[in-house]
Amino acid sequence: METVDVTIIGAGVVGLAVAERLSRSGRTVVVLERRRRHGTETSSRNSEVIHSGVYYPPGTLKASLCVEGREALYALCDEWHLFCRRTGKVVVACDDAEIPKLEKLLAQGRANGVEGLELIDAGFLRDLEPCVRGKAGLKVPCSGILDSEELMRHFLRKSEEQGAIFLWNAELLSAERFSRGYRLKVSGMAEPFVTGAVVNAAGLGAEAVAGMPGLNTAAAGYTLSFFKGEYFRLRKPLDIRRLVYPLPDPHGLGIHLTIDRSGGIRLGPNSTKVDVMDCDVDASHKEEFLRAASRYLPDISVEDLYPDTAGIRPKLSADGSFKDFVIQEESDRGLPNWVNLVGIESPGLTASPAIARKVADLLHYPG
């Protein structure tokens, strides 16, 4: 293969959004994906929520790229007639002690530029969502849902129309820096091929890929821990229009209620540290889900819950402390035009178009 301008590792939603963005300019873009199709890992195993941006400390990439990505996604779905719905959501304080945390979330959301936030009391919450109970709520009108598979197919189709080449069953095995860029060794290819730039969008494999050209990932702070999140489907019909969330805990957003494209209701995800990358759902976790969800959804019982899917979060923090996305061009570590995207957990789906814009800004091409 002749030299390509940019090679993207990974065809999840982030790699696909980056491919769509970079292929607009007429440069040669190749995407290497180790699976036989796009998006089979984290990008198809999430809540499919377009997040507002209330959860992340002001000034962080998670905050700014979530807000930018959210509006970019609504505009994109509108322009290309992709499914999305601005359902809005409520974050519920289930007891009085949680109300100050709700107020903190309101202040943080406002500082992040999230529009339309409103604190509501128990009565207003009941009027808004009669099936939901709580002491108070935070109304978040700009949250919504989309169809992540449809979004990924859109990025894929546009990228291909713009000339990007996708190689499936193509795992990056090693990478070596040399004067004109990088030599990449890929499974199934007899010879390494040469690329001017690399974007590491390998999700769960991002730390391994970052280490391939010789970068010390532990010293760089790129060590990943993996946290599985399971979902249960709620088979009981409930008249709910908005997404319903408890207050977040350090490991996640809490077991929340989401509505999918066809109106089905799911509860999840929980959060468990794992070493093995299996996405089975343990049916015995029903009780945990019932306990968590019945705090704000009193009229459900264990018979209403059925195991659904699970996804795995690539986290830069194992102890629940906040860690921002890593979106780093590595010239300072001797790897010019190598961009690492590490720890792209939630809100990575929402932020995907904004991450792609940022990656395009970071790459500098000769000439």
Ligand X SMILES: Cc1cc2nc3c(=O)[nH]c(=O)nc-3n(C[C@H](O)[C@H](O)[C@H](O)COP(=O)(O)OP(=O)(O)OC[C@H]3O[C@@H](n4cnc5c(N)ncnc54)[C@H](O)[C@@H]3O)c2cc1C
Residues that bind ligand X (CB under 6 A): 9-15, 32-35, 39-43, 45-49, 51, 171-172, 201-205, 209, 229, 269, 311-313, 344-350
CB of 112 to ligand X, least distance (A): 15
CB of 243 to ligand X, least distance (A): 9
Question: By C-beta, is 33 or 330 nearer to ligand X?
Answer: 33
Edge-to-edge order in the sheet of strand 144-146: 49-50, 144-146, 84-85
For the chain, what's the residue count? 367
Question: By C-beta, is 46 or 136 nearer to ligand X?
Answer: 46
CB of 126 to ligand X, least distance (A): 26
- Per the CB < 8 A criterion, the answer to whether 117 and 109 are in contact is yes
CB of 314 to ligand X, least distance (A): 7
CB of 336 to ligand X, least distance (A): 21
CB of 49 to ligand X, least distance (A): 3
92 φ/ψ angles, rounded to the nearest 5 degrees: -110, 130
Question: By C-beta, is 136 or 354 nearer to ligand X?
Answer: 354
Question: By C-beta, is 65 or 136 nearer to ligand X?
Answer: 65
Question: By C-beta, is 106 or 209 nearer to ligand X?
Answer: 209
Question: By C-beta, is 89 or 136 nearer to ligand X?
Answer: 89
CB of 309 to ligand X, least distance (A): 9
Q: Which two tokens stand for residue 156?
A: 């894929």
Question: By C-beta, is 9 or 29 nearer to ligand X?
Answer: 9
Question: By C-beta, is 109 or 347 nearer to ligand X?
Answer: 347
3-state SS string over the chain?
Answer: CCCEEEEEECCCHHHHHHHHHHHHHCCCEEEECCCCCCCCCHHHCCCCEECCCCCCCCCCHHHHHHHHHHHHHHHHHHHHCCCEECCCEEEEECCHHHHHHHHHHHHHHHHCCCCCCEEEEHHHHHHHCCCCCCCEEEEECCCEEECHHHHHHHHHHHHHHCCCEEECCCCEEEEEEECCEEEEEECCCCCCEEEEEEEECCHHHHHHHHHCCCCCHHHHCCCCEEEEEEEEEECCCCCCCCEEECCCECCECCCEEEECCCCCEEEECCCEEECCCCCCCCHHHHHHHHHHHCCCCCCCCHHHEEEEEEEEEEECCCCCCCCCCEEEEEHHHCEEEEEEEECCCCCHHHHHHHHHHHHHHHCCCCC
CB of 25 to ligand X, least distance (A): 21
